[in-house]
Amino acid sequence: MANLTDIPLQADVAENTGEFTVLPAGKYKACIVADELKDNKNQNGKILVLKIQVTDGQFAREILTDRINITNPSAQCQAIGQGTLKRVCNICGVPYPPQDTNGLMGKPFVVDVKVEEFTSNNTGNKLKSNKIKGYHSADTPTSMAPAQTAAQSHGQDVQPQQQAASGW
């Protein structure tokens, strides 16, 4: 039996059903609602993981994840990641380089979302996930895709292990 008395469990955490919605490709109004700075897979760089919530339309409240390489042995990968962070800072009105990410939280912008297909490492099944291909100012026109094009994915292995940041 596991003793959880000293574990800081959050009473208001959302229940995980193991499902998520894959948004159709398009541009969506969104904002950053959470982030985390983590070591990359090879433990030789840092990745800023952004949790981005869609704020408008039929997919409002859906959460997307972007993984931005902040430091990386590959100069090109690092430049792309830092350039992406600079883009987000400029759109949010935060001076670059930022000391922290507090100024980015809740600021409106538009994300350009693509759909990627990949093969599950665990099951070998073909799955889909979203990837953020670009960030735009909040006044950029958005696209509202029909609900029937949204696909459902199940299971824990639903996104690639590491997404490289991309330019636009």
Question: What digits encode the pLDDT tens for the residues 51-83?
Answer: 999 999 999 999 999 999 999 999 999 999 999
Strands 109-119 and 26-39: antiparallel
Lowest-pLDDT choice from 11-15, 51-55, 96-100, 110-114: 11-15
Lowest-pLDDT choice from 45-59, 134-148, 154-168: 154-168
Contact between residue 47 and residue 21 where contact means Cβ atoms under 8 Å apart: no
Asked if the model's pLDDT at residue 102 lies above 80, the reply is: yes
CA distance 100 to 24: 32
Q: Which amino acid is present at 48?
A: L
- Structural tokens at position 148: 């029937």
List the chain domain ranges. 21-146
Would the pTM count as exceeding 0.85? Answer: no
28-52 average pLDDT score: 97
CATH topology of domain 21-146: OB fold (Dihydrolipoamide Acetyltransferase, E2P) (2.40.50)
CA distance 57 to 28: 8
133 backbone dihedrals φ, ψ, rounded to 5°? -100, -15
